[in-house]
Structure 1
Amino acid sequence: MHGPDPATLHPLPHHRRLVFLKNLITRPNIIVGDYTYYDDLDDPANFERNVLYHFDFLGDRLIIGKFCALASGVKFIMNGGNHETAPISTYPFAIFGGGWETLMAGQDVRDKYPSKGDTVVGHDVWIGHEATIMPGVHIGNGAVVATKAVVTRHVPAYAIVAGNPAQVLRFRFDEATVERLNRLAWWDWPAQKITRHLHLLNAADVDALEQVAGSDGW
């Protein structure tokens, strides 16, 4: 057994609102790993509509790792939602034309949308119902983002965050264990190996998982 086919759009035939998200993505600047799913209460095609202010000319990317679980209504605010705050007015005059673009000649329109870089979600991350992720945020492997949290800063690996703005409530494991799990990077194992040791991934024995990490010829 190799587990479910990651190229399947609907891995649960009886539940059409859940998709392996990679197979639904159409935008080249959204990158999603295998087995990451999105479960939408209405229509999973809503996902790309929930990636907001994502303008091609800015070039920022949304990168989501493998084995993530994204609940209905999760929103990603991209860098096109940023405005300059240094000038007296934050209003983007030049984009509306009518002569304003001439008066602003020489200014790169991208300067009006300060970039915080790519938004990156690690592997095995659970993002709860209607959580909002702000531009340029990095969410570490194994993290949990609570329902309706607003994530404005980087989230450490295996942290649980909640609130607006989201704050770390606790870590799922101690620091040494987090380092071990990041080194193991089980999400990069071949599907056959993950399947073979699924009982360990659904347990809490990191020692046992380490013992099999170099086994099976991989």
Structure 2
Amino acid sequence: MSRNRRNGRTRRTGFQEPKRFIVVAMEGRATEPCYFDLFRTAREHPMQYKPVSNPKDKSRPSEVYDRLDLAFRAYERSRDEGWLVIDRDAWSEAELDDVCRRARASGYHVALSNPCFELWLYLHKRDNRQFADRHDCQRALGEVLANYSPDRKGSFDPQGLRDGIEAALERAAALDQHPDTPWPRHQVTRVYRLVRKLMSGPTTDNTGERLHS
């Protein structure tokens, strides 16, 4: 009889800690998925990024919630996290309030950008400036990010943003002066909260090279 058995202990062979999944449903079908590909998680790591597909191109906040809620049924709520990535855009305050209420009741997180997701990308390159609306923000991003244009939103290379992630985290967090509100009424992007989660473990770039530790 082995010493472990004599001591009342059984050695567990080949045991692996259960994986933790970060499940993300996004409003956009081009810009957001292109960017978040930066955080494709290494296979062996216990934290895995799982984007939710959007085959019918449904972008209303309520539709993003429904897609996440359906996809998240395959995961364990006690370990895993569900995230909605949505924009202020021209959606009504009532709809955004309702989606944030439903998300909170379900234990999901909301990474809302006001006016749009492109603000988060812009903060990788420049300090914040006030934008008139989402179109103004998208035009400004096209001036600082190679190969991005409002007409070809998914054509940019996300690798060009890698060096600016830490700066974007700092700039976005500094903008969020009222972090306890369900969603920001002023120009703020809360994508920084999701990116902090995704950076909590090693990820790889498209070549398999380690991106973050």
Which structure shows the higher strand fraction? Answer: 1
Which structure shows the higher helix fraction? Answer: 2
TM category, shorter: under 0.3
Q: Which has the higher contact order (CA 8 A, sep 6+)?
A: 2
TM-score calculated relative to the size of structure 2: 0.24
TM-score calculated relative to the size of structure 1: 0.24
